[in-house]
Amino acid sequence: MTCYIMVDGVQIGPMTIEQMSAYNIHEKTPVRTNENEEWRPLLTFPELMSTLQNKGATGRATCDKDKNTAGILALLVGSLGIQYFYIGKTTAGLLTILLTLVTCGLWSCLTFVQGILILIMSQQDFERKFIYTQSKFPLF
């Protein structure tokens, strides 16, 4: 099931239930399941509520990927795309290796900066930008 949510007055979606759980949502968060439907509170969708409640008390999915590990990998061996392989983005890892080869190693400067940014962002932001994104090649 794909859904749209309204967070701080901004429509976000379409997304899966797993991606929804990366945001700070609660039972009154406006949700709709398709473009033509009206916005309703999350609590009016029993299937979404039960799925999100099963993911933990915070309403967020528990993620086994640590931002600190990914950040350190990006700092130390980012030019090899190891940070992407760690978070499960194989396409991005392979593209990083290719870009490092094509740019004669200059791409590693960008992955170093990425490592710093990953280390200073919150775990929730890391999960939203790198883990639960539909992007095959998340940079920042």
pLDDT in tens, 39-95: 888 888 877 777 666 554 344 445 688 999 999 999 999 999 999 999 999 999 999
Asked if 32 and 3 touch (Cβ cutoff 8 Å), the reply is yes
Q: Do 74 and 35 share a structural domain?
A: no
60 located within any domain: no
Domains in the chain, number: 2
Is residue 21 pLDDT above 80, yes or no?
Answer: no
Asked if 83 and 65 touch (Cβ cutoff 8 Å), the reply is no
Secondary structure class of 74 (helix, strand, coil): helix
Q: Which residues constitute the domain of residue 92?
A: 67-131
Phi, psi dihedrals of residue 87, rounded to the nearest 5°? -90, 0
Specify which residues 11 forms β-bridges with. Answer: 6
Q: Do 72 and 46 share a structural domain?
A: no
140 located within any domain: no
Is residue 2 pLDDT above 70, yes or no?
Answer: yes
Q: Do 127 and 75 share a structural domain?
A: yes
Question: 26-40, 107-121, 124-138 — which is least confidently predicted?
Answer: 26-40
Instruction: Judge residue 12's burial from the number of C-beta atoms within 10 Å of its C-beta, 0-12 exposed, 13-18 middle, 19 or more buried.
Output: middle
What whole-number distance in Å separates Cα of residue 28 and Cα of residue 97? 44
Predicted local confidence at residue 58, as pLDDT: 43
59 located within any domain: no
137 located within any domain: no
User: Full-prediction pTM beyond 0.75?
Assistant: no
Q: Do 74 and 46 share a structural domain?
A: no
Is residue 14 pLDDT above 60, yes or no?
Answer: yes
Q: Do 81 and 42 share a structural domain?
A: no
Looking at every residue in the chain, the average pLDDT score rounds to: 84
39 located within any domain: yes
71 located within any domain: yes
Is residue 98 pLDDT above 90, yes or no?
Answer: yes
